[in-house]
Chains A and B, each alone.
Chain A
């Protein structure tokens, strides 16, 4: 897995709550059997007009100022609905390394950590402040530092919380399966003692 230590990038704002994974990656793109190449389909139904190729000029990510953005900020309950990890693969493949919101749906939140994408929970007030600053400065750049658990830039200096084990895994790009298999003896022991 790719590691995450410090990342600086342009912030794209999405002033919407309950952005569900059906919007992040619509179902017609879930038929692929690969993990890669989903970025081109990210937010497909919002990003493009009905012909599927003409960009929708009103959509947030199609604004010229946020071209190449790598940090996404949205309102509460981001990533709700379907468990499809394709949503994280699409965000990652498009270039997003971090997503900031006041809250995330559980499965999406988990899926981020499996792919080296950092979901950051900030308070409503802090999220509001970033939206306001980005409104005035549409090419706002922020630096996300996972080591110090800080978000910095253009007068912003916020701290964020993260579970220490998740932080450790992200910083070091560690694979969950390899870690669990270090406890294989305990799995053996558990299976031996269980009477089904």
Chain B
């Protein structure tokens, strides 16, 4: 699949050095773009294909009352700069107040901009999300953002491919988030460096598009710039009727079928896993590879042979305030965050609401849910999910990246411990001194009610 997409997008392949690769879709947000636009201005360059460029503010936007001005002056200036740049260079902007505003990796797919066979880039490492549609999608730096704006291309070395095949079935109560956390745990945070990951096998085929996005989203946490899942009927059914898909949809589907992976396709590396081995996952450390099953205990530095691993583990336990050998289910939490480009789509909110229905958040837990986009929020409200969240004691917010990276006012205080559906548990990621445990939306909701981690497979669902 990578081969086909790559070959279709090569503009120029010199004998040595990187190829010039055409970019079909460029997504832009407020944090990694201002210096790129400034570079264009300084060099008197324009955007080559503004119609292939879509922008939205997401990283920095407040998730509280949108009728108020943004209190943080520097945040306000950055969002205002995006507004001015889009106006000056003719880029479509889904601004605050537009129902289509939201996390850039949520709005691309839900509006049908993201399509199979495309090359998609964004100044954000979680661009791999779009690979769920069988596109080649990866994060780039700001200099590359400027390069794409000016030339609609990127200079790229062809990556190697790694197949991650998940056979069998996922047990009931085990989610796509658990699958990807498990895979990252197996690969390590650098196991995918230099590769594009292609997720295959029966467990992957059965996933919905939203679940596939959760899986591909976290490819970067295993070191891979891109993750892909070959398109199939699930993909085509999801895209049908979306506003930005080609008008002759059936013809497009015929073309997209070309991007399925050939049986017997070869990969540089193939790894096989069994769905039955995966249980609900919880990270215990300060990178997403430091993860264990809900019924496991926190490891000890001495469990690792390599001195660097021992040191990394010891540093992580110290930052996280955890003792080796403690069952992870005995760890109490006081914050819950349901949101992010990993898990803030409608299905994620439905899954969390199903757990919460008829229950209440523990008295010492502060819980919030931040929908991935204005459209997700509207859909959830139409289904009454907001009421379930509110009645259970969750704070129902406006869309944005929010406490996934805590650039806006949503953050952890030092020492606070959070069950989070986001993608990174790095030191200080959700606020300086904050302690993050990555989990699925179901596990986060259950933790909010119990005040500690519990196995959602044993949950008392109230109809």
- Contacts A106-B223, A183-B11 known; 8 new A-B pairs at CB < 8 A: A27-B406, A31-B75, A35-B142, A77-B223, A84-B31, A85-B142, A110-B140, A111-B141
Query: Using a CB-CB cutoff of 8 Å, which residues 352-402 of chain B contact chain A?
Result: none
> B32 is contacted by which of A20, A84, A104, A163 (Cβ under 8 Å)?
A84
With A17-B308, A18-B189, A107-B225: A177-B151 Cβ-Cβ less than 8 Å? yes
Residues of A contacting B405 with CB < 8 Å? 22, 27, 82
Confirm or deny: B157 has a beta carbon within 8 angstroms of a beta carbon on chain A.
yes
Q: By the criterion CB–CB under 8 Å, are B151 and A180 in contact?
A: yes
B interface footprint on A9-26 (CB within 8 Å = 1, 0 otherwise): 000000111101011001
Q: By the criterion CB–CB under 8 Å, are B11 and A186 in contact?
A: yes
Q: Which residue of A lies closest to B433 (CB)?
A: A50
Q: By the criterion CB–CB under 8 Å, are A181 and B151 in contact?
A: yes
B interface footprint on A25-60 (CB within 8 Å = 1, 0 otherwise): 011101111110000000001000010000000000
Q: By the criterion CB–CB under 8 Å, are B308 and A106 in contact?
A: no
Residues of B contacting A166 with CB < 8 Å? 17
Q: Which residue of B lies closest to A77 (CB)?
A: B190
Interface residue count for B (Cβ, 8 Å)? 67
Q: By the criterion CB–CB under 8 Å, are B32 and A31 in contact?
A: no
Query: Using a CB-CB cutoff of 8 Å, which residues 50-98 of chain A contact chain B?
Result: 50, 75-77, 80-86, 88
A31 to B20, CA, bound (A): 31
With A30-B31, A110-B144, A180-B153: A165-B426 Cβ-Cβ less than 8 Å? no
**Shortest beta-carbon distance from A103 to chain B in Å:** 6
**Shortest beta-carbon distance from A115 to chain B in Å:** 7
With A18-B287, A83-B123, A83-B124: A45-B147 Cβ-Cβ less than 8 Å? no
Residues of B contacting A194 with CB < 8 Å? 22
**Shortest beta-carbon distance from A165 to chain B in Å:** 3
A16 to B313, CA, bound (A): 11
A32 to B77, CA, bound (A): 9
B interface footprint on A155-196 (CB within 8 Å = 1, 0 otherwise): 000000001111000000000110111011011001100101
A115 to B144, CA, bound (A): 11
**Shortest beta-carbon distance from A89 to chain B in Å:** 8
Would you give 12 A-B contacts (Cβ < 8 Å), ordered by A? A23-B428, A33-B78, A35-B142, A50-B432, A75-B308, A77-B223, A84-B32, A105-B190, A163-B17, A165-B18, A190-B11, A191-B152
**Shortest beta-carbon distance from A108 to chain B in Å:** 8
> A27 is contacted by which of B77, B124, B407 (Cβ under 8 Å)?
B407
Residues of A contacting B75 with CB < 8 Å? 31
Q: By the criterion CB–CB under 8 Å, are B427 and A22 in contact?
A: yes
Residues of A contacting B225 with CB < 8 Å? 106-107
Q: By the criterion CB–CB under 8 Å, are A26 and B428 in contact?
A: yes
Residues of A contacting B221 with CB < 8 Å? 81
Q: By the criterion CB–CB under 8 Å, are A18 and B123 in contact?
A: no
Q: By the criterion CB–CB under 8 Å, are A23 and B16 in contact?
A: no
**Shortest beta-carbon distance from A112 to chain B in Å:** 9
> B153 is contacted by which of A50, A163, A187 (Cβ under 8 Å)?
A187
Residues of A contacting B139 with CB < 8 Å? 83, 107
Q: Which residue of B lies closest to A20 (CB)?
A: B426
